[in-house]
Structure formats: C-alpha cells, structure tokens
Chain A
Amino acid sequence: MNPFSSGTRLRDMIRAIRACKTAAEERAVVRKECAAIRSAISEHDQDYRHRNIAKLMFIHMLGYPTHFGQMECLKLIASAGFPEKRIGYLGLMLLLDERQEVLMLVTNSLKQDLNHTNQYIVGLALCALGNICSAEMASDLAAEVERLLLTKDPNIKKKAALCSIRIIRKVPDLAENFLSPAASLLKEKHHGVLIAGIQLCTDLCKVSADANKHLRKNCTEGLIRILKDVSNSSYAPEYDIAGITDPFLHIRVLRLMRMLGQGDADTSEYMNDILAQIASKTESNKNAGNAILYECVETIMGIEATSGLRVLAINILGRFLSNRDNNIRYVALNMLMKAIAVDSQAVQRHRTTILECVKDSDASIRKRALELVFLLVNDTNAKPLTKELIDYLEVSDQDFKGDLTAKICSIIEKFSQEKKWYIDQMLKVLSLAGSYVKDDVWHALIVAISNAPDLQGYSVRSLYKAFRTSFEQVSLVRVVVWCIGEYGEMLVGNVGVLEVEEPLTVTESDTVDVLEACLTGHSADITTRSMSLIALLKLSSRFPPTSERIKEIITEHKGSIVLELQQRAIEFNSIIQRHDNIKSSLVERMPVLDESAYMVKKANSSQENIVAVKSSQMSLAGTSVTLPNGVAKPPAAPLVDLLDLSSDDALVPTSTSKDFLHDLLGIDLTNSSSSGFSIAPSGGTDILMDLLSIGTPVQSDISPETVSSNQGFAPTTKPTPTTVQVLDLLDVLPSNGSVAGDQSPLYPSITAFQSSTLKIMFSFKKHPEKPQVTEIHATFMNLSSDSYTDFVFQAAVPKFIQLHLDPASSNHLPANGNGTITQTVTVTNSQHGQKPLAMRIRMVYKVDNQEKLEQGQINNFPPGL
C-alpha cells in the first residue's frame, strides 16, 4: 500500500468488490469509493486523478452513476503526458456519450492532440473522435482528420480513415471533401489502411451518389486487382485465417464492389471473372471461407451479374442450406430471402428443406425460415404448405406459436380461393392455437361465415365438434358462441348438410349446455361471457322449450359482480319477462355483415400499424431509416437525428387520432357484428336503445378515452350524436389543423425551394393564442416531364424549434405540374421573436425506379414566424 495514497489501489478496490457476498455489501463498498473519489476531485488532487478515473470506469461497468468523474477525464486529456492522456481518453469514451454537452469542452484538446508530434497521441485522439464525436465536433475537426489521411504513418492513416467514416455519418455534407483522399487510400499496400480505406469508400457511396459514380469510374479496376492479389497470394502468416489470407479484406472489397456494380451493367460485367473465381475456389470447410462465400453471393445478387454467375450463387446457398452447422443454415435462409427477388424459381426448389427449418429447435433459424416460407407461398403451393404449417402448429414450442399462427392466418386469408377451405383451415388454427390468434382474425372468420349462407350449417356443426375437444381456446370459443347464437337451429335441425359431413345429432338442450359452459367456465373472460348471454337470449326465442332454463341461467347472473354481465342479465331478463311480444323480432338473425366494408377497415387499420411500426423503427434505429418499400437506407445522420424525433412525434399523434376515428366508427360495425345483435328495423323501441347502450364490451382494443366517451353517451345513443362525438374528440386533438377552417393568411406565401425539377410552396397559418406555433402548408409540384414515385419530404430544424410532420397527401407526384402533393408541417419556435425560423429540407423520390435526392435550406421565411 502506498503510504501517500488517499485511497485504495485499483486492484484492491476490484478485489474488495469481488469479495462482496451481497448486493448491499457491494453498494456499500462502491459508495465508500465514490465518496473518496469525489473528495479527491474537490481537492483537485492531481496525483491520483488517473487512478480515480480507472476506478470510476470499473464502477461504471457495474452500473453505478459516475457522471461526477466526467470533468476529470477532460483534465487528464488536457495534461501533457501520454499515460494520463491514454486513461483520460478511455474514460471519455466510456463515461460520456455524444449527447452530453460536456463533450463539446473536449474539442479544443482534441484539436491539439490531432496536431501532436507523437503518433500515439494522435492515434488516441482519432480513436476517441471516431468513437464518440457528435455532429458539431465532426464539423469542427473534419479538416484535421482530412489532413491526417495524407500522412505517411499507416497507423494514423487507418485511424483517420475510420474516423472519417464517423464524420460523414454525422455530417454527410462533408462527404465530398473526403472523396479524393479516400480514393487514394485504395492504392496502399498496408492491409489495415486498405481495410479502413475501403470501408470509408463504401460509406461515401452510401451517402453520396456522386462519390459512387467517381469511385466506380476510377477505382473498380484497382479493387479487382486487390481482390485478385489477396485471393491468389501465397501463405501469409500475418494475415492467415484457416488457410485464407485476410478474409476481412476479401469481405470489404466484395462489399464495395457490390455498391459500385449495383445497377451498372458494364462495371458488373467487369467483375464477373473475379467473382466467379472467388465463388468457385474459396474453401468452404471453415467459417472464414464461408464468410467470404456469403459476402460473394450477396454481391452477385446485388449487381447485374450474368445468369451463370447467379446460378453459381444460388447453388452455394443450396449447399449452405444442407450444411450441418446452424450458423451456415441461418445465413443461407437470410440470403435466400434476398434471392427470391432475383430468382424465385430457384428458391422454390429448396422449399422442403426450408420447411424443415421452420421445425428446427433453434428459435433464430425458425424465425428466418418462417419468414422465408411466407414469401414462398403462392397460389399453387398454398394448400400443401398451409397443411404442413398447421400440422407443425400442434407440436411447436409455446413461444413460437404466436408468430406461427399469425403467419398461417395471413397465408390462409391471402390465398384462400374457396370459402370452405378458408373456414376449415381457420377452424383448425383456432382449435390448435385459438389463444394466440389476434382479434381481427376471428372477427374476419365471423364476417366470412355470415356471408356464406350455404356453409353456415356446416360451420356451426364443425365448430360444435371442435369445441368439444378444444374448449380452452379463447377465440374458438367466441366464434362458437356467436355461431350458435345465430345459427343454433341449423345445428339442431341439421340444415344444409354437405356430402362430406358425418351425421351429428345435437339436441336443443345440448346447445344451451355449450353456452352455459362458456358462461360459467373458469377460463371465460368477460367478452366471451357477455357474448354467451346474448347467444342465450337469441336461443330462448328460437328454441321455446329451453326458454325456461335460459331464463334461469340469465337470472343467476342478475347478481353478477361484473357490472357488464349484471346489466345484461337484468335487461335480458326484463325482455324475456315483460316484452315477449317483441322478443322474437328483437333477436332476429343478424343481417349479413358487409364483407367489403370490413376488409377496407381492416386494411386501413393494418396500414396504421405499419406507420406506427415504421415510426418506432425510425426512433430505434438511429442510424438507418426503413423506407416504406422495405429498403433500409443509410441516411444523412444529423438530419436524421432531428428527423427521428420529429417524425416520431408527428406520426404517432396522427396515427392514433385516426385509430380513434376508426375505432369509434368501428363501434357500430364490430359492436353489432360480434356481439351478435340483430337490429330489426321494426323493433325500434326504447328497449332497443337500452340494448345498444350496453353493447360495448367487445372492442377490447379501444383506448380508454374512446370507451369512456362512448359510454358517457350511451343512454341516448343515436346515430347522429355519435358522429358529433367523433368530431368533438377529434377537435381536441392537436393535429386537426386542416379541419379548423380557412382563416385568411397573415403571412405571405413563399417559394421555399425551386430547382429545375421540383418546386415547393409554403403558406403559413398561425393561431393568435399560440404565437410560437406556425402551421406550414407545403405544396410540392413536379416541374419535370417524368412522374415521381415514393416521394418523401423530410425536414430538419435547429434545436430551438420543434417540428411535426403530418402525413403527406400522397407519395406520387405527376409530371409537368399536373397535380401536387400537400403536407402540413407544424413548427414550434421556442425562441419566437428572438430567432427566425430556419429549416433544411430533403426530398427523396424515384424516377423510373432510380432514386433521386434533392436538398436545400430555407432562409426566406417571412419575418415574425
């Protein structure tokens, strides 16, 4: 122990922490250490600074807060010696992340160190900058890094190249500065520099089409030579992995070749020979070789390769698929998904093997395989594939059943050509995994049965049979209850028997038994039980002999502790007792449900889901945005950082508002459909009103607001007030600006952006009570003679402004100004009156499937916004 030391050594602290037997003990040790470090910090203790930071890093790894040590890292970095700087930079990278303001303070030290004469100190600074720099730091220090790319020392060169990657990911506008130094790195011999340089070029291609063009023109030849040299080189011990010289370099060259060859036939043609050589000669008995083959296949799929080469690639995947190693099979499945787009016939050949993978014991492989199978289904193979999947559903893992059922259901819905097949398959799924089925699936089944008059008898009988074996499957039970309520007499009377059916004798009291079991069963939830009550009411009018028994069952529930059931029981009881004369017309069979309207509604709601998923993905991804067409695009980083926030904010409220609307409107639909009410036009009495008012519990997916508002309205439910309520609700939401009516604009409209191909007009609207909020109505016009598809408008604003983008009116922009897209953008200027609005914009669209990008900055906002 050091006699001058004010605390323990690092090693001793680690030992003390490891000796702790309980979490409480550990906390105590850490608390003591932290207290000692804090007091050392406040006494400006220099001698132990680096030891304290080392300790803090260890404490940080254990998950304790260590923010108080951040400034100490900066002090260490600012000191002169290498040992201090080394630990200081390590602490900086570990204890801070790019979002902390403290980080800006280090910019100056970094600048000095980047200009240091000692190459290792320069290396430390580059490493830190490459790992945690923010967009501001990237712009401030880009020039230094650019200069370092041209130094002699390979160690600095490679670090500078990787650091440049971070810089252009953060600030894509800087890409062009790095283009020529990056291209010159490809002429190097040092593998580290080559690897870093090639990676930098790949990233440049991702952010800039010009860079791609430039590199394609000037570097393709060089790349091919690098690949030839490294793949033909004799044994090189320094780079050898399993008999292959530098697989990492192989893979990076192949990846850049993919970027360059994409969509360019000449360049692709040029690459043919070397790709064929790699694909056929690489050893595939070790992971390293397979990694190269995998990358090579992806490149062949990505570029405009000849058909011979593609066959070679698909064959490699076929070999992968039959490999015993799970890793190899996994990547094969992964790549076959991409290969479908290129050659779906070839992938179909492996269908049986892929189907086997769905049954694998490994969850990762199962998931990949299932998604692949889903893509492989077509009209001809839908039936056998569905059968296979349903058979497997029976024995599959519990935690896989959810995914599997969802996929099976969507295959059945998408590929059913005859109703009977659809109903049969759905029944199988419901009886095997009814608890995993989503609500919309069994709703759709009910709609389908209601629309198939010849199959209703068959359906209700099959359901009855299925119920006897699978009474624990929630959604099956609900469909059974609904169908018995509607078509109970077909069950008892054997109406519409199909040839394939076995005879079945069911008595009236058997059906009541089923419903009673559903009503009183332990597993039944409130929705099922409410549905059972309605079904019973319906049966009491259809089967007069059982009505006495039904009355008893209903009376039992008059004392139910569940309010909903109690209310239903009391009201139904009064119908049975006092309104026998109108009972039969009140509980007539449901009118046929509108199938097309249901499908439209379902499609809409699933679209909403996609939007929501998309926005959550965007906020999650941080560095990549998933475009609607499913292509992940590496975007402009700082812009996206801003966009992430904004799009997240903007999309969620709009989509939920629409959900409200759907759900509210949907009340009429699902309510009447799934709770099984028959609303006879003649029976428009007070009782009917009462009945309607309680028919709510089926929409389990409604948000609390909707439910409460709806119930609040219940006593006087009429069609008109409901719609009024819908509007009221919407009015409360912030995104209804467009509904608010046209106030005369206070601010002049501007042409926000104009190029030879695109014109954007902004008009402005302000609410007097909220001066900082401006609503911008953007109108996009296509000035070129080609129409644009997949048009996406993105905007970014400085930190003091908040941005909300509403969904655009369309993503298709017709040529020659024949039509426009409009989009509402809401900006909140938190420094209203002090700073003017400013905005950077970016438009991405496709012309003939070629992606185009335009961007600009808007500085001509009218003053006072």
Chain B
Amino acid sequence: MIHFVILISRQGKVRLTKWYSPYQQKERSTVIRELSGLILSRGPKLCNFVEWKGYKVVYRRYASLYFCMCIDPDDNELEILEIIHHFVEILDRYFGSVCELDLIFNFHKAYYILDEILIAGELQESSKKAVARLIAAQDSLVETAKEEAGSISNMISQAI
C-alpha cells in the first residue's frame, strides 16, 4: 500500500502531502525533511527508488517538481512509477499543461484529483477519462451551487 504521497519542489518546498498511514504532525515534518534531503541530492541517471526506514520511496521528477510515494518493501516499484505518471497526466489534462504554479494556487484541486485516484493508499481508477469526468461533474455541482446562492456567497466562492 502507499503510505503517503508528497510533492516537493526542487527547492524543497512542499506542494502537496497526503498521508494514508497515521503519522503525527511532528513525524510528518521529519519525514518530509529527511526525504527531501535524500531525494533532492540524487543525480539524474540514478534509479527512482530510495530505501528508507524499511520502506521504499519511489519518486519521479517532472520539471521542478518531485512526486514521491512511500510504499511497502514488497510492493511493485515499477507500477508506482506508472501511478505517478497516471496522476501527472490527469493533472496535465485538467489544468492544460500543468505547471508548479497551478498546483500552488489550486492546491485543493490537485487534492480533489488525487482523491479520485487513490483511496486508503490503493489505486482507485485506471482510466484518465473516468477521473476527468468525475472531477468535471463535481466542479459543475459547485458552479451550480454558486449560481443558485445569493450574491454574497457567490463572491465567497469566487474567493476560493
């Protein structure tokens, strides 16, 4: 199972974290600190797996962002690479050639997408189209709610 997903930038800034196993706040920041030290220092031609505290961390770099997933030692590392790519492709389609800034300003959207791909640390959907459909349907639900609501809440929704 996937224990957590972390997106970190080249500079070590956290862009997204999702924890499927219980980690306390303190542990979370130690984990992030340790892993970014470990992963960001690795050269470009090396393999995409790092062994860490009895787990394995599979990471893949896309432009300035590192997508990292922590898995059990007997999970399929190559498949996790595909899951990461799956996630990235869906993000890319949703935002239209995604960049780091999209994920910063619309971080909640990235979380919504991740929630349609993984639950309980397991893969939920292998079709990019299906995920896109579900996200679009929920986005339009939000839009409808906005239009129905009065002017004040309309403005609030925009603020988000």
Which residue numbers of A lie inside 8 Å of B, CB to CB?
2, 4-5, 9-11, 14, 18, 47-48, 50-51, 54, 57-58, 61-63, 65, 81-83, 86-87, 90, 93-94, 97-99, 120, 123, 126-127, 130-131, 155, 158-159, 162-163, 165-166, 169, 191-192, 195-196, 199, 238-239, 241, 246-249, 251-252, 255, 287-288, 290-291, 294-295, 298, 326-331, 334, 361-365, 367, 617, 620-624, 632
A330 to B19, CA, bound (A): 26
Let me know if B63 is at the binding interface, CB within 8 A.
no
Instruction: List chain B residues, Cβ under 8 A from A163.
Output: 119-120
Instruction: Given the known inter-chain contacts A287-B82, A329-B47, please indicate yes or no for A47 contacting B123, CB distance below 8 A.
Output: no
Instruction: Given the known inter-chain contacts A61-B107, A199-B122, A326-B46, please indicate yes or no for A86 contacting B14, CB distance below 8 A.
Output: no
Q: Ordered nearest first, which 10 A-B pairs have the shortest CB separation?
A: A291-B78, A326-B47, A162-B119, A130-B119, A166-B120, A9-B159, A362-B46, A192-B125, A130-B120, A248-B126
- Interface size bucket, B side? 35 or more
Interface pair A50/B126, CB less than 8 Å apart: no
A97 to B25, CA, bound (A): 9
Of the candidates A165, A246, A294, A362, the one whose C-beta lies within 8 Å of that of B120 is A165
Q: Mark B78-109, 1 if CB is under 8 A from A, else 0.
A: 11011100100000000000000000110110
CB within 8 Å of A: which of B1-43?
1, 3, 14-25, 29, 43
The residue in chain A whose Cβ has the minimal distance to the Cβ of B74 is A632
CB within 8 Å of A: which of B107-156?
107-108, 111-112, 115, 119-120, 122-130, 134, 137-138, 141-142, 145-146, 149, 152-153, 155-156
Instruction: List chain B residues, Cβ under 8 A from A61.
Output: 14-17, 107
Interface pair A327/B120, CB less than 8 Å apart: no
Instruction: Given the known inter-chain contacts A158-B124, A622-B22, please indicate yes or no for A51 contacting B156, CB distance below 8 A.
Output: yes
A56 to B146, CA, bound (A): 22
Interface pair B119/A87, CB less than 8 Å apart: no
Interface pair B78/A99, CB less than 8 Å apart: no
Interface pair A249/B126, CB less than 8 Å apart: yes
Give me 5 A-to-B residue pairs in the complex whose CB atoms sit less than 8 angstroms apart, sorted by A's number: A2-B159, A158-B124, A192-B130, A247-B79, A255-B76
Instruction: List chain B residues, Cβ under 8 A from A11.
Output: 105, 159
Interface pair A158/B125, CB less than 8 Å apart: yes
Interface pair A86/B112, CB less than 8 Å apart: yes
The residue in chain B whose Cβ has the minimal distance to the Cβ of A632 is B74
Interface pair A10/B74, CB less than 8 Å apart: no
A624 to B73, CA, bound (A): 11
Interface pair B23/A97, CB less than 8 Å apart: yes
Instruction: List chain A residues, Cβ under 8 A from B74.
Output: 632
Instruction: List chain B residues, Cβ under 8 A from A159.
Output: 119, 124
The residue in chain B whose Cβ has the minimal distance to the Cβ of A8 is B159
Interface pair A251/B76, CB less than 8 Å apart: yes
Interface pair B119/A131, CB less than 8 Å apart: yes
The residue in chain B whose Cβ has the minimal distance to the Cβ of A84 is B145
Interface pair B145/A81, CB less than 8 Å apart: yes
| Beyond known contacts A99-B24, A326-B46: 13 more, CB 8 A cutoff | A2-B159, A51-B156, A51-B160, A54-B160, A61-B15, A87-B108, A123-B134, A166-B120, A191-B125, A249-B126, A287-B81, A326-B48, A617-B54
Instruction: List chain A residues, Cβ under 8 A from B105.
Output: 11, 14
A622 to B31, CA, bound (A): 15
Interface pair A5/B78, CB less than 8 Å apart: no
Of the candidates A54, A120, A251, the one whose C-beta lies within 8 Å of that of B108 is A54
Of the candidates A131, A247, A288, A330, the one whose C-beta lies within 8 Å of that of B20 is A131
Instruction: Given the known inter-chain contacts A326-B47, A620-B53, please indicate yes or no for A295 contacting B138, CB distance below 8 A.
Output: no
Which residue numbers of B lie inside 8 Å of A, CB to CB?
1, 3, 14-25, 29, 43, 45-51, 53-54, 72-74, 76-79, 81-83, 86, 104-105, 107-108, 111-112, 115, 119-120, 122-130, 134, 137-138, 141-142, 145-146, 149, 152-153, 155-160
Interface pair B137/A364, CB less than 8 Å apart: no
Interface pair B78/A90, CB less than 8 Å apart: no
Interface pair A291/B156, CB less than 8 Å apart: no
Instruction: List chain B residues, Cβ under 8 A from A5.
Output: 155, 159
**Smallest beta-carbon distance B96→chain A, Å:** 18
Interface centre among A14, A166, A239, A327 (most CB of B within 10 A): A327
A51 to B152, CA, bound (A): 13
The residue in chain A whose Cβ has the minimal distance to the Cβ of B77 is A331
Interface centre among B86, B124, B157 (most CB of A within 10 A): B124
Instruction: Given the known inter-chain contacts A294-B78, A330-B49, please indicate yes or no for A162 contacting B122, CB distance below 8 A.
Output: yes
Instruction: List chain B residues, Cβ under 8 A from A155.
Output: 134
A621 to B53, CA, bound (A): 9
Instruction: List chain A residues, Cβ under 8 A from B124.
Output: 158-159, 162, 192, 195-196
Instruction: List chain A residues, Cβ under 8 A from B21.
Output: 622-623
A661 to B153, CA, bound (A): 71
A60 to B107, CA, bound (A): 12
Interface centre among A126, A239, A367 (most CB of B within 10 A): A239
A126 to B104, CA, bound (A): 26
Interface pair B108/A127, CB less than 8 Å apart: no
Interface pair B14/A63, CB less than 8 Å apart: yes
The residue in chain B whose Cβ has the minimal distance to the Cβ of A293 is B78
Instruction: Given the known inter-chain contacts A90-B112, A199-B123, A287-B82, please indicate yes or no for A10 contacting B160, CB distance below 8 A.
Output: yes
Instruction: Given the known inter-chain contacts A57-B107, A83-B145, A159-B119, please indicate yes or no for A97 contacting B19, CB distance below 8 A.
Output: yes
Interface pair A127/B156, CB less than 8 Å apart: no
Instruction: Given the known inter-chain contacts A47-B152, A364-B49, please indicate yes or no for A287 contacting B78, CB distance below 8 A.
Output: yes
Interface pair A120/B104, CB less than 8 Å apart: no
Instruction: List chain A residues, Cβ under 8 A from B160.
Output: 9-10, 50-51, 54, 87
A97 to B3, CA, bound (A): 13
Interface pair B120/A162, CB less than 8 Å apart: yes
A131 to B29, CA, bound (A): 19
Interface centre among B51, B111, B123, B153 (most CB of A within 10 A): B123
Instruction: List chain B residues, Cβ under 8 A from A199.
Output: 122-123
Instruction: List chain B residues, Cβ under 8 A from A4.
Output: 152, 155
Interface pair B51/A364, CB less than 8 Å apart: yes
Of the candidates B24, B107, B119, the one whose C-beta lies within 8 Å of that of A127 is B119
Interface pair A120/B14, CB less than 8 Å apart: no
Interface pair B153/A47, CB less than 8 Å apart: yes
